[in-house]
Structure 1
Amino acid sequence: AASAPVEATIVLRRRAEVPHELVTGPETIPQPELAERYGAEPADADRVRDVLGRFGVRVTDVDLASRQMRVTGTAEQMTAAFRTELSRAASPDPAGGAPVEHRHREGTLEVPAELDGLIVAVLGLDDRPQARPHLRRAHAEEGRQISYKPSELANVYHFPPGTDGSGQVLALVELGGGYRPEELDTYFRSLGVPTPRVTAVSVGTGRNHPGEDADDEVLLDIQVAGALAYGAEQKVYFAPNTDQGFISAVSQAVHATPTPAALSISWGSAEEFWTEQARAAFDEALADAAALGVTVCVAAGDDGSDDGVHDGRAHTDFPASSPHALACGGTSLDADPTTGEVRSERVWGGNGGGATGGGVSVAFGLP
Structure 2
Amino acid sequence: MRSNRAALRAGASMAATLPMIAGALALGIPAAHAADGPARDTLAGTRPAWATAKADKGSTSDSAKVSARVYLAGRDAAGLAAYARSVSDPGSPAYGKYLSAEQAEARFGATPAQVAAVRSWLTAAGLKVTGTSRHYVAVSGDVAAVEKAFGTQLHNYAKGGKTYRAPSGTASAPASLDGAVLTVTGLDNAPHKAASKEQLPPPDAVFKNSGPFSSYYGSNTASTLPSAYGKKIPYAVQGYTGKQLRAAYGAGGFTGKGVRVAITDAYASPTIAFDAATYAKAHGDASWKTGQLRQVLPADYTRTEECGAAGWYGEETLDVEAVHAVAPAANVTYVGAASCYDDDLLDSLSKVVDNHLADIVSNSWGDIEANQTPDLAAAYDQVFQFGAVEGIGFYFSSGDNGDEVANTGTKQVDTPANSAWVTAVGGTSLAVGKNDKYLWETGWGTDKASLSADGKSWTDFPGAYTSGAGGGTSRTVAQPYYQKGVVPKALATANNAAGNRVVPDIAAIAD
* TM > 0.5 fold call: yes
Given the superposition, is the C-alpha separation of residues 201 and 349 from structure 1 closer, same or farther in structure 2, using an over 3 Å criterion? Answer: same
Give 2:294's match in structure 1, choosing from 198, 207, 211. Answer: 198
Once the two structures are TM-superposed, the CA of residue 151 in structure 1 deviates from its matched residue by 3.1
Given the superposition, is the C-alpha separation of residues 75 and 249 from structure 1 closer, same or farther in structure 2, using an over 3 Å criterion? Answer: farther
Q: Distance in 2 between matches of 1:204 and 1:80?
A: 32
Aligned residue number for residue 86 of structure 2:
21
Do structure 1's residue 345 and structure 2's residue 444 form an aligned pair? no
Once the two structures are TM-superposed, the CA of residue 86 in structure 1 deviates from its matched residue by 7.3
Give 1:8's match in structure 2, choosing from 58, 61, 68. Answer: 68
Once the two structures are TM-superposed, the CA of residue 164 in structure 1 deviates from its matched residue by 4.3
Given the superposition, is the C-alpha separation of residues 238 and 246 from structure 1 closer, same or farther in structure 2, using an over 3 Å criterion? Answer: closer
Given the superposition, is the C-alpha separation of residues 190 and 5 from structure 1 closer, same or farther in structure 2, using an over 3 Å criterion? Answer: farther
Do structure 1's residue 107 and structure 2's residue 199 form an aligned pair? no
Do structure 1's residue 163 and structure 2's residue 233 form an aligned pair? no
Amino acid at match of 2:171: E
In structure 2, runs of 5+ residues without a counterpart are 1-60, 90-94, 193-206, 212-224, 229-233, 448-464, 482-511
User: TM-score, normalization: structure 2?
Assistant: 0.60
Once the two structures are TM-superposed, the CA of residue 44 in structure 1 deviates from its matched residue by 2.1
Do structure 1's residue 55 and structure 2's residue 125 form an aligned pair? yes
**Secondary structure, counterpart of 1:288 in structure 2:** helix
Q: Distance in 1 between matches of 2:249 and 2:400?
A: 22
How many pairs are equivalent? 347
Higher relative contact order (CA 8 A, sep 6+): 2
User: TM-score, normalization: structure 1?
Assistant: 0.80
Aligned residue number for residue 185 of structure 1:
277
Aligned residue number for residue 279 of structure 1:
377
Do structure 1's residue 119 and structure 2's residue 218 form an aligned pair? no
Q: Distance in 1 between matches of 2:340 and 2:250?
A: 36
Q: How well do the aligned residues superpose, as a CA RMSD in angstroms?
A: 3.6
Given the superposition, is the C-alpha separation of residues 48 and 158 from structure 1 closer, same or farther in structure 2, using an over 3 Å criterion? Answer: same
Give 1:261's match in structure 2, choosing from 356, 359, 362. Answer: 359
Q: Distance in 2 between matches of 1:253 and 1:104?
A: 32
Given the superposition, is the C-alpha separation of residues 3 and 223 from structure 1 closer, same or farther in structure 2, using an over 3 Å criterion? Answer: farther
Q: Distance in 2 between matches of 1:3 and 1:189?
A: 58
Amino acid at match of 1:175: A
Q: Is the CA contact (8 Å cut-off) linking 2:368 and 2:413 kept in structure 1?
A: yes
Q: Is the CA contact (8 Å cut-off) linking 1:263 and 1:297 kept in structure 2?
A: yes
Give 1:69's match in structure 2, choosing from 137, 144, 150. Answer: 137
Q: Distance in 2 between matches of 1:186 and 1:252?
A: 28
Given the superposition, is the C-alpha separation of residues 212 and 259 from structure 1 closer, same or farther in structure 2, using an over 3 Å criterion? Answer: closer
Identical-residue share of aligned pairs (%)? 23
In structure 1, runs of 5+ residues without a counterpart are 92-100, 131-136
Q: Distance in 2 between matches of 1:70 and 1:254?
A: 19
Give 1:319's match in structure 2, choosing from 405, 416, 423. Answer: 416
Q: Distance in 2 between matches of 1:203 and 1:233?
A: 20
Once the two structures are TM-superposed, the CA of residue 206 in structure 1 deviates from its matched residue by 5.5
Given the superposition, is the C-alpha separation of residues 84 and 360 from structure 1 closer, same or farther in structure 2, using an over 3 Å criterion? Answer: same
Give 2:154's match in structure 1, choosing from 62, 77, 85. Answer: 85
